[in-house]
Structure 1
């Protein structure tokens, strides 16, 4: 599993692979985009050769939290606890994405006037295009595969109450279901447990606080409903792979955008 201290966008251009993210695994067809946040564990496995592009950028270069109103990719492409982070890229959209990546690569290959501003603009355009495509694909789902009402309500409840309610029982009761019944619905749709959804949402918020605010770790833990700061520290390290202080120090230490032009199977 890789854990990078930057955002990653992978375009698998040739050769199917299996992608493992956190505790999930899913086959990924060629011409799919994959999106990962800093320190999110992921792995690509393939039986044969694969080819693609990896775009990686540091949060201090482009923070999806700070630009969420302009770009809208946070919670859609990145930090979506309900969806696997994959976006099938239809044939008609590929030339646009290929052109943007070529422009990024060309601009990064030579130092020129206002280079950072131009790279920033290309990246922003690429993320907006991907977000629009993802939203359009979700809207085009036929009614038979649309999200059931209970899952829509769960999303709303989780977003409103994840800080103060960490127990599955609370959400099951609000939805008039047993924890077991709710767990079956969530597992069948998302391949995760309700507890995993709650924990992932807490970690997303903890990372946001560590990166965007000067609050100490104890304060962040308390704001997220952890009265025991030591327990919060263990909870964060188990999920993120580093301590909260290490996350704060390391995320943002990469000063430039990097554009490796290959993806290799692990």
Structure 2
């Protein structure tokens, strides 16, 4: 990639979760709120939904939650922790006396934080339902760490993002240790293994989409056959494996076209297309517009 494309990438703005303006762009990768703040607006009921690229930690400090997780129902009594990887369909009915915190972050950031901790990362690829009643010391420590994390999130002190990440890592390691003590989780919900493969595939695509690997190469890394990978992608990601790769390439192209002044040829090179004309045809096929026409529409929309 050229120096010009590197510079252009730095100009792409970063937006906070939920459309909120981030006063500190360095810390907009995470959002913290109390369970009460959102659930009471909906009569303590959150209808089943899912997040495509977000990872959530729900700390139920007090009260109960009737939960629907991927079509299965369970009741959780605080103190407890629930972790939800992307694409998990989840809904809640909380008791009115509920207390606790919801931490929401980009799954890509979680992968970055745990890049050198494969065991911990593997724990959070699946739903975890962790009761804390029998872990008094860990319960107090977790509550303290989460309070410190939310205080950092609400503040504007120097090193805020780093402090949030450090406290989040403590929370994740503590939960991993509790899981390692033999407590059962929701990891064996039927279909979860296929979803884990789908999420791992999307991680690999995020890392390598510029390399234009054949689907067979991704399938080998996942220990799957290409037809099996395609079935998983259709079921959990709504497209074929190749379609998921193409979506990621188009997303990056749209970012370049919207937020940089790079030419279509420069964008093609940045995305490892040897033939800029082929890139232009590919982009039009997927979006219905040539690259520069798409840019014009975006500029008029953002003006």
The bucket for the TM-score relative to the shorter chain is 0.5 to 0.7
- 1:181-225 CA-partner distances (Å, limit 9, x unpaired): xxxxxxxx9453xxx255234313322223332255962765442
Q: Quick one: distance in 1 between partners of 2:67 and 2:170? A: 26
What is the rounded CA distance, in whole Å, between the counterparts of 1:71 and 1:222 in structure 2? 20
> Shift of the alpha carbon at 1:87?
0.7
Count matched residues: 192
More helix by share: 2
- Structural mapping, 1:18-167, within 5 Å: 18-46=66-94, 48-63=96-111, 67-70=114-117, 72-76=119-123, 78-80=124-126, 85-89=128-132, 90-138=135-183
The answer as to whether partners of 1:8 and 1:57 remain within 8 angstroms in 2 is yes
Unmatched tracts of structure 1, length 5 or more: 142-188, 254-266
Cα gap change, 1:246 to 1:103, in 2 (>3 Å) = farther
Indicate if the aligned counterparts of 1:218 and 1:229 stay in contact, CA closer than 8 A. no
The root-mean-square deviation of aligned C-alpha atoms, in Å, is 3.5
Relative distance call for 1:43 and 1:225 in structure 2 (3 A) is same
Cα distance change of structure 1 residues 218 and 40 upon mapping to structure 2, 3 Å threshold? farther
Equivalent residue number for residue 225 of structure 1: 225
For CA contacts below 8 A with separation 6 or more, give which structure has more relative contact order: 1
For 1:102, what is the secondary structure of its paired residue? helix
* Distance across 2 between alignment mates of 1:69 and 1:134: 19
What is the deviation of 1:23? 3.0
CA apart distance, 1:49: 4.6
Contact 1:11 1:52 in 2 (8 A): yes
Contact 1:72 1:128 in 2 (8 A): no
Q: Does residue 171 of structure 2 align to residue 207 of structure 1?
A: no
> What secondary structure sits across from 1:73 in the alignment?
helix
The corresponding residue for 1:152 is none
Q: 1:227 to 1:121 in 2, by over 3 A?
A: same
Q: 1:71 to 1:93 in 2, by over 3 A?
A: farther
Specify whether residues 238 and 29 from structure 1 end up closer, same or farther in structure 2 by C-alpha distance, changes over 3 A only: farther
Structure-2 separation of matches of 1:216 and 1:25: 41
How far is the alpha carbon of 1:29 from its aligned partner? 1.5
Higher alpha-carbon deviation: 88-97 or 31-40: 88-97
* Higher CA-based Rg: 2
SS across alignment from 2:162: helix
Consecutive unaligned residues in structure 2, runs of 5 or more: 1-47, 256-303
Displacement of 1:34 in angstroms is: 0.4
Report the TM-score, using the length of structure 2 for normalisation. Answer: 0.53
**1:71–1:128 Cα contact (<8 Å) kept:** no
- Give the whole-Å Cα distance in 1 for the aligned partners of 2:159 and 2:212: 36
Q: CA deviation at 1:247?
A: 7.2
**Residue deviations 1:50-102 (CA, integer Å, cap 9, x gap):** 322101112343326x62543732232x123xxx5201113332221121112
Deviation of 1:115 after TM superposition, in Å, equals: 1.7
Q: Comparing 222-231 with 106-115, which one deviates more in the overlay?
A: 222-231
